[in-house]
Amino acid sequence: MRGRERYGDIVRYDMGPGGTMTLLNHPDHVKHVLATHPQNYVKPPQGGGLLGNGLFSSRGEFWKRQRRMMQPAFHRDRLAPMVERAVAGTRSMLTRLEAQARAGKPFDVEQEMTWVLRSVVSQSVFSLDVTELSPTVRDAFEFVMAFGRRKISIWSVLPLPRLGKRRNTQSIRILDEAVYEIVRERMREPGAFQDQLAAMIAARDSQGEPMTDKQLRDEAMTLLVAGHEATVSAMTWVWYLLDRHPEVQQKVREEMATVLGDAPPTAQTLPQLQYTSQVFEEALRLYPPAWVMGRIAKEEDQIGGYTIPAKSTVVLSQYVMHRNPAYWPEPERFDPERFAPERKGSQPRYAYFPFGGGQRLCIGDSLAEIHALVVMAAVLQRYRLELVPGFRVEPEAGVTLRPAQGLRMTAHPVSLPATSRRAAGA
């Protein structure tokens, strides 16, 4: 942020032996990298054991083949049943929230969002709830996620890296076995389910070849991980912002009462939650889960009159762009009206890019919104979440943007606004 304030659209950092890093702060420059010259700007190698060669980590021709094969799993026609599956994924959260509300004790909303989104995402990928699998599998999943986030700080500061690494490798093996088992079971009765795994098994490349078991594993794991990590971050910020802005919360609840009454959302009613969806978009602006993205320049290039050296890193930051007053007046202010239909499109396309852009645009962008709206409805139709007074909330820039100390809140039952009682009675 300081770099942009001081130097403007292009900021060059000297990284010593690491070469140079260029931060691009103009929407046209982001467009150049992601959308018009993606062949010159490649993703840095990433992923590794857990994600394997799935869509997030793969590159080049193999990525292209996989993107084509994965697209049907996200096809519009498939998104409708996803709403139902997402609603199913919120059931265990509602049981937990009821207990929290009765006890009146504070709980960590970030942790709750992690559990519920794991359930929701695994329902859409496999038609089952990973949090209900055996404790061994659950613990393994918990460990690899924490290991990936370097949350287990003891292993990142003490000279014990092998201990953590070994447990990580073992945990990945446990998860692999669980996923291979699900895949094998499915192969025995193809067509029995209508979920994303079914679409992946049915997919064929241009030569008529299906994905191998290993590739199905990599893609399923990628969806499980990439499919919940960022949405957890987004939803945690949504609860924080709704607590800070009771007038917005009231408006969302009224919209839900009018559109849904006390029923869960369906594929027909969900798209009518216009204001709720604006709240989600505005939360992604202020607290973008993917707050930064890097690319390596293959060849030397020119951007905005500056030379981008070959093999150097360019950095695009959603956080910095989304708070640029040139595109977002009063950028620190939470205002869902920015995304009202009549104001949409008043900024350059890449002044807002929470889901990236170009050919590597997040494949789950529509699904993420479905998941977010379903979880918001499940909670807001029944509860008001209130921040523990005096609890400090500060963003921490990790793999995703999270509150540094989690988010401690209490749950209070609410009755439906009168509009919904009328709608429900009608």
Q: Determine, following the binding rule CB under 6 A, whether residue 47 of this chain makes contact with ligand HEM.
A: no
Distance CA 308, CA 297 (A): 7
307: helix, strand or coil: strand
Q: Are 367 and 82 in contact (CB under 8 A)?
A: yes
Candidate ranges 12-20, 225-233, 323-331, 410-418; the one touching ligand HEM (CB under 6 A): 225-233
Q: How far is the CB of 181 from ligand HEM (least distance, A)?
A: 21
Applying CB under 6 A, among 43, 96, 167, 421 the residue interacting with ligand HEM is: 43
Q: Which of 183, 223, 257, 260 binds ligand HEM (CB under 6 A)?
A: 223
Scanning residues 329 to 388, which ones bind ligand HEM (CB under 6 A)?
354-356, 360, 362-364, 367-368
226 binds ligand HEM (CB under 6 A): yes
Q: H/E element holding 182?
A: helix 161-188
CA–CA separation, 111 and 236 (whole Å): 9
Residue 227 interacts with ligand HEM (CB under 6 A)? yes
Q: CB 29 → ligand HEM: shortest distance, Å?
A: 15
3-state secondary structure (DSSP) of residue 16? helix
**Which residue number, 155 or 287, has a Cβ lying nearer to ligand HEM?**
287
| DSSP run (H or E) holding 409 | strand 408-413
Which residue has tokens 């690491």?
A: 18
Report how far apart, in Å, the C-alpha atoms of 308 and of each of 79, 295, 316 are.
40, 12, 14
Q: Is 59 in the site for ligand HEM (CB under 6 A)?
A: no
Among left, alpha and beta (phi > 0; psi -120 to 50; other), residue 315 is beta
230 binding ligand HEM? (CB under 6 A): yes
Please name which of 176, 96, 182 lies closest in space to residue 136, comparing C-alpha atoms: 176
Rounded distance between C-alpha atoms, residue 53 and residue 219, angstroms: 8
- By CB under 6 A, the residues from 63 to 102 that bind ligand HEM are 67
- The correct pick among 32, 41, 56, 278 for binding ligand HEM (CB under 6 A) is 56
Q: Closer to ligand HEM at the Cβ: 10 or 293?
A: 293
Note the residues at the interface with ligand HEM (CB under 6 A).
Answer: 43, 55-56, 67, 222-223, 226-227, 230-231, 234, 289-290, 293, 354-356, 360, 362-364, 367-368
